[in-house]
Structures are given as structure tokens and as C-alpha cells.
A = this chain, B = another copy of it.
Amino acid sequence: MLSIPSPNALDASRLIVEPTPTPKPVPSDSSTLVFGQTFTDHMLTVRWNVSTGWDAPVIKPYAPLMLDPASTVLHYAPTLFEGMKAYKDKQGRTRLFRPDLNMARMNRGAARMAFPTFDGSELVSLIKELLRIDDRWMPTDPGCSMYIRPTMIGTRASLGVGPSTEVLLFVIMCPVAKYYSSGAKPVSLLASTKDVRAFPGGTGSYKFGLNYAACVAPQMEAAQKGYQQVLWVLGDDHECTEVGMMNLVGGKKREDGSVELFTPPLSDIILPGVTRNSVLALARAHADPSNPFTLEGVPSNLVVSERKVTMPELRDAARDGTLLEVFGTGTAAVVTSVERIGYEGEDVKVPVEGGNGFGPIAGAFYEALQAIQYGDLEFADWSVVV
């Protein structure tokens, strides 16, 4: 009988560490760092191929990747990534925020991309080890954190379009400043009725590189017109989908005096954001009288809706004074309040009255999430000590 070796699984216990012989100086003031441009001493790489499975993971000096010019990632864009952060708590311990959600999303994307899937807890173990090895890079200034970028790319050196028989998984990390170094600033959006980010039957719900490249030119056009980011709308009814690279959340006064917190439901066109999920869970905990958790400054009669939102609805609610807030949620900035939305030649004005650059609802989420992320507040098992 012929014995066919079964391909190796991703296995953190096989890790090989090659420490850098030339450690770089760590920036003395992490509050001045530009997002995503300063990387730590090491990176994690794990190769996979279809016949042998996952190679031994390697943590080695951060260095250029050698890629055959025919590598599929350079031609057909098989690439997916995650965005995560690690935080130092007051006890000096490093903490990850809900890494299980990132791993689940990454595996869901891997399946859609015809990439190999893996045991997410193995990759979390490897990321923890990378954090330990580059611990001296962990920012300790208030509000600073370590941005972690797990990435998978197709590396088969062939111009035929087909399954990725070779894949590279790698993780790089950058210390990042508080996103709003001089206090939060609300942003302006231009509702795009011309360019579409995602569509039914497409891949907008996956963290695929391919969802991002085509957003750059529309973003530059919006900037030329005086808006900072694009609000992606879809279809004849101008359904709101996402804000720049963030999920969209809003607050509205209802006739019975309660407040509705609304966000588009998950679908083909909405990325299942970790911050979005967390905001909804916190809002539901706040609205639940049996749960002791509260969002400071947010009315207790909060109704949480995942439902379709359109630009005409937002415009009308702004006009009649029922629109309370609009904000984006995402890992990089946590929450970002919106102050105006350019739509069909008019500027829809959105209230931002929290006094600290956030509306009161967005600000409450920001404070609560930061407290959980830095380990000052326990909520479920969201904050994971490394």
C-alpha cells in the first residue's frame, strides 16, 4: 500500500526563531509615528504548498520578500489581510483585542480565496511570540499601540489563472501613535454615486486586498472636492454601505423618545468589522437592564438596529433634526465621527456635540472600547493577555 503523507497543519510548536543581529533603534516618541511606516525588528513567515502543507513557522529579521516576478499576487491579486492591535496595560502586560474574530474572518477569506485554512489559535500563539520577541517596540505612551498585520499572498510563479498552490502567510508589526494625536477630529465624507466599492455577489465582506485598490482614485477625487473620505453608496436608492475603510454607524431620535443606533446589516457588501461587532455588543449590553454595563452619557432607552440605511434617509433626518450622529468604526481609529456628507450637490450637516471631537454616542463607545483594550475594564473575554 502506498502511503500518502498528509499535508502538515499550521503548527506553532515548530517555530524557528532567527533573531536579528542588528536591532534597530526604537523611536523614542511613539506619539509622532505615522501610521504603518515604522516596522519592528522581526516578522513571522510561514510558507504553504499544496503537496506538503504548512512549513515550520519562522520569526526572522524584517526584510524584503523575494518574489518571482510571475508570482500570482503581483498579477491576479490573491491577497488577504487582517488588522489587529496589541496594547500595554498598566501592569506592563501586552493585550490583544478579540483575536479570535480576526482569525475567523481570515479563515473565512482564505476559503473564498482558495487559500489553505488553518487553526486560528496556532497563528495567535505565533503572533504572541512575535510580540514577546519585539516587546521593546511595544509603545507605552497613552493611546499608542502595536498594529499587527497578518497577510496571506499567492506565490505560485505562473501566469495561468488558477488555485494558489503556493502561499506565504506573514505577519509584520508597527508601533502606532494614538490615531487622534491632538484630539479626535470629525471628518467630512463625499457620498459616491459613481464608483462602487462592493456589490451583491462580490467580495466586499472579505478583507481582500482587491477591495481596496480601486478605492484610492475615488478617495483622491473626494479630497480634491474638499472631503476627507468617501461614503460608499450602492444602487438607485443610494444605500449607505461603508465609510472610507470603516463600517458606518448612526444614531437617530425616535418619536417615542428612544434613540436608535443603526448600522447596515452584514451582507456581501459589508465587511464584518471587529469594532462594528464590538460596538453592537456594547450597545446591546447597555440597553439590557439586566446587564450592569453602561455607556456613559448614552440614553438607556437605546434601540439597536441592523438595517438598510439610505442617503435620502440621512439627509431627511439631518433636515428634521432627528439625526443625532454618524460615525465610522474600525481597528485603526476605533471610532471616527462624521460632521458633514456631500450628497447630490448639498452638504448634509451631521451633529457632533460631544465636545471632544466625537458625538456623545461615538465618544462613549471610544472610551469604553479603549478601556477594554488597555485592560482597565473587563468585558466578556475580549481582552487577551499575551
Interface residues of A (CB under 8 A from B): 34-37, 39, 43, 62-70, 73-79, 81, 111-114, 147, 149, 151, 153-154, 157-164, 170, 172, 174, 194-196, 199-203, 208-217, 219-220, 234, 245
Q: How far is the CA of A164 from the CA of B216 in the complex (A)?
A: 9
Q: How far is the CA of A81 from the CA of B218 in the complex (A)?
A: 21
13 more contacts with CB within 8 A, not counting A76-B216, A112-B217, are A36-B158, A37-B157, A37-B159, A74-B209, A76-B212, A76-B213, A113-B213, A113-B214, A161-B219, A163-B220, A194-B201, A195-B202, A210-B211
Q: Are B212 and A74 in contact (CB under 8 A)?
A: no
Q: In the complex, which of the residues A43, A62, A69, A162 has the most CB atoms of chain B within 10 Å of its own CB atom?
A: A69
* A153 (CB) vs chain B CBs: closest residue: B74
Q: How far is the CA of A37 from the CA of B162 in the complex (A)?
A: 13
Q: Are B69 and A67 in contact (CB under 8 A)?
A: no
- Copies of this chain in the oligomer: 2
Q: In the complex, which of the residues A74, A114, A159 has the most CB atoms of chain B within 10 Å of its own CB atom?
A: A74
Q: Are A74 and B75 in contact (CB under 8 A)?
A: no
8 Å CB contact of A36 from B36, B159, B210, B214: B159
Q: How far is the CA of A192 from the CA of B201 in the complex (A)?
A: 10
Q: Are A78 and B213 in contact (CB under 8 A)?
A: yes
Give chain B residues whose Cβ lies under 8 Å from the Cβ of A163. Answer: 216, 220
Give chain B residues whose Cβ lies under 8 Å from the Cβ of A147. Answer: 159
Q: Are B77 and A209 in contact (CB under 8 A)?
A: yes
Q: Are A203 and B199 in contact (CB under 8 A)?
A: no
Q: How far is the CA of A34 from the CA of B24 in the complex (A)?
A: 45
Task: Tell me the minimal C-beta distance from A186 to chain B in angstroms.
Answer: 20
Nearest 7 pairs of A and B residues by beta carbon:
A36-B159, A196-B201, A210-B210, A77-B209, A76-B212, A77-B77, A199-B199
Q: List 15 A-B contacts (CB under 8 A).
A: A35-B160, A36-B160, A37-B157, A64-B68, A65-B68, A75-B151, A76-B209, A77-B208, A77-B212, A114-B220, A161-B212, A161-B216, A163-B220, A202-B202, A208-B213
Q: How far is the CA of A32 from the CA of B195 in the complex (A)?
A: 44
Task: Tell me the minimal C-beta distance from A47 to chain B in angstroms.
Answer: 14
Q: Are B66 and A74 in contact (CB under 8 A)?
A: no
Q: Are B74 and A37 in contact (CB under 8 A)?
A: no
Task: Tell me the minimal C-beta distance from A76 to chain B in angstroms.
Answer: 4
Given contacts A65-B66, A67-B64, contact A213 B79 (CB under 8 A): yes
Q: In the complex, which of the residues A67, A76, A147, A154 has the most CB atoms of chain B within 10 Å of its own CB atom?
A: A76
Q: Are A77 and B213 in contact (CB under 8 A)?
A: yes
Task: Tell me the minimal C-beta distance from A341 to chain B in angstroms.
Answer: 18
Q: Are B62 and A69 in contact (CB under 8 A)?
A: yes
Q: How far is the CA of A78 from the CA of B213 in the complex (A)?
A: 5
Q: Are A158 and B74 in contact (CB under 8 A)?
A: no
Q: Are A70 and B113 in contact (CB under 8 A)?
A: no
Q: How far is the CA of A159 from the CA of B174 in the complex (A)?
A: 9
Q: How far is the CA of A70 from the CA of B112 in the complex (A)?
A: 23
Q: Are B208 and A214 in contact (CB under 8 A)?
A: yes
Task: Tell me the minimal C-beta distance from A139 to chain B in angstroms.
Answer: 16
Q: In the complex, which of the residues A43, A64, A154 has the most CB atoms of chain B within 10 Å of its own CB atom?
A: A64
